[in-house]
């Protein structure tokens, strides 16, 4: 996957297997990981993270037109910040990547998955608080 450096903006290729340890920007040496914000995932990024991440993965299926998704967005961001180094948070726009929503039979959004070692541990539709999401990830 490609992560933009928050300091210099350079794009850095980082393998999903390395998300659990610190990786630095190739240009300015700023720490890129652990990632403390949700990662916007396309199909390639999603498949890479699900297949190779050594951490549990929270996936937020959402769409820009969805009011409840907008309500959940700050909760998802908080989980990413508080669980940095212990979990990875992906966001999948169902309008941009409907094939991923179909793959996991997402029929309502927001819809959350917790995946560990490539296997779905939990799937939950509807808005939930950040504490509940963090419990899911801790249990995974």
Q: pLDDT tens digit string along 65-78?
A: 999 999 999 999 99
Question: Structure tokens of 97?
Answer: 């990547």
Q: Which residue has the higher pLDDT, 129 or 35?
A: 129
pLDDT of residue 19: 86
| Residue 134 in domain | yes
- Does this model's pTM top 0.75? My answer is yes
| Residue 72 in domain | yes
| Residue 122 in domain | yes
Give the strand order in the sheet containing 57-62: 39-40, 88-93, 57-62, 111-116, 119-125
pLDDT of residue 17: 86
Q: For the residues 49-64, what does the mean pLDDT come to?
A: 96
Q: For the residues 54-74, what does the mean pLDDT come to?
A: 97
- Cα–Cα distance between 134 and 140 in angstroms, integer? 10
Asked whether residue 133 carries a pLDDT value surpassing 90, the answer given is yes
The residues that are catalytic are 66, 69
Q: pLDDT tens digit string along 15-48?
A: 888 888 889 999 999 999 888 899 999 999 999 9
pLDDT band with cut points at 50, 70 and 90 for residue 88: very high
Domain count, the chain: 1
Asked whether residue 94 carries a pLDDT value surpassing 90, the answer given is yes
Can you give the CATH number for the domain in which 52 is found? 3.40.30.10
Q: For the residues 88-92, what does the mean pLDDT come to?
A: 97
Residue-range definition of the domain harbouring residue 121: 35-139
| Residue 75 in domain | yes
Pairing of strands 88-93, 39-40: parallel
| Residue 91 in domain | yes
């Amino acid at each position: 996957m490609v992560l933009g450096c928050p300091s210099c903006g350079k794009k850095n290729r980082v393998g999903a297997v390395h998300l659990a340890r610190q990786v630095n920007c190739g240009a300015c040496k700023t720490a890129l990981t652990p990632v403390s914000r949700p990662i916007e995932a396309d199909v390639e990024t999603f498949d890479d993270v699900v297949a190779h991440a050594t951490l549990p993965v929270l996936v937020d299926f959402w769409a820009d037109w969805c009011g409840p998704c907008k309500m959940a967005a700050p909760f998802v961001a908080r989980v990413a910040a508080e669980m940095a180094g212990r979990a990875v948070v992906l966001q999948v726009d169902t309008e941009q990547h409907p094939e991923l929503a179909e793959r996991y039979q997402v029929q309502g959004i927001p819809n959350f998955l917790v995946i560990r070692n490539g296997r779905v541990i939990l799937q939950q539709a509807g808005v939930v608080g950040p504490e509940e999401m963090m419990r899911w990830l801790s249990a995974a």
